[in-house]
């Protein structure tokens, strides 16, 4: 188990800006919104993959059994991980949220509130994945992909 509250791996990929433009255009034509806006730069692109869970700096779980507390801290830790990687929340183009025993009616409003606290009006594409189990006590984990 990692001892950092911000467990993230940095995976950098490089693409030509013309490839990013094609990705951007195809997502708009699919009606999914302009999720890649702000991610395009001149020249080479770098992609960063980050993940966060509800841990404090000492590595201890926060909010054992409290989904809302874990969601708030997971998104706050994701913000710290973005900053450490040299990225901003508005550069995130996709998030994946893993939830133990997912219940849409119960979990979505809590996730949306936590997401707004980090991203504000920015709405990256997102996926929610229900899982059977994580490390003991953990109820949520958030992964993000940012283009910087």
| CATH at 78 | 3.30.1330.40
Indicate left, alpha or beta for 59 from its phi (over 0: left) and psi (-120 to 50: alpha): left
Q: Residue 38 has what pLDDT?
A: 30
**Using 50, 70 and 90 to split pLDDT, how confident is the model at 4?**
very low
pLDDT interval class at 58 (50, 70, 90): confident
- Give the number of domains in the chain: 1
- Please indicate, yes or no, if residue 91 is contained in any of the structural domains: yes
C-alpha to C-alpha distance for 12 and 81, rounded to whole angstroms: 15
Residue span of the structural domain in which 94 resides: 46-147
Tell me which DSSP letter residue 86 carries: T
- Residues in Cβ contact with 85 at an 8 Å cutoff, skipping those fewer than 6 apart: 8, 10, 48, 50, 146, 148
User: Would residue 36 count as lying in a domain?
Assistant: no
CA–CA gap between residue 129 and residue 148 (Å, rounded): 25
Q: Mind listing the pLDDT tens digit for each residue in 78-116?
A: 998 898 888 899 999 999 999 999 999 999 999 999 999
Per the domain annotation, does 16 fall within a domain? no
**23-49: pLDDT as tens digits:** 332 223 333 222 222 333 434 456 777
Does some domain include residue 4?
no
Q: What is the pLDDT of residue 48?
A: 75
Q: What is the pLDDT of residues 7-21, one digit of tens each?
A: 434 444 444 433 433
């Amino acid at each position: 188990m990692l001892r950092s509250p911000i467990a993230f791996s940095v995976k950098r990929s490089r693409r030509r800006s013309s490839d990013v433009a094609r990705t951007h255009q195809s997502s708009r034509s699919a009606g999914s919104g302009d999720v890649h806006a702000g991610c395009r730069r001149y020249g080479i692109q770098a992609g960063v993959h980050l993940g966060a869970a509800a841990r404090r700096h000492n590595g201890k779980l926060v909010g054992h059994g409290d989904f809302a507390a874990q969601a708030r801290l997971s998104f706050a830790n994701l913000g710290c991980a973005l900053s450490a990687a040299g990225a901003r929340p508005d550069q995130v183009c996709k998030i994946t949220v893993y939830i133990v025993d997912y219940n849409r009616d119960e979990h979505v409003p809590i996730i949306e509130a936590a997401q707004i606290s980090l991203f504000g009006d920015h709405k990256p594409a997102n996926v929610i994945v229900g899982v059977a189990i994580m490390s003991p006590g953990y109820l949520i984990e958030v992964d993000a992909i940012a283009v910087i």
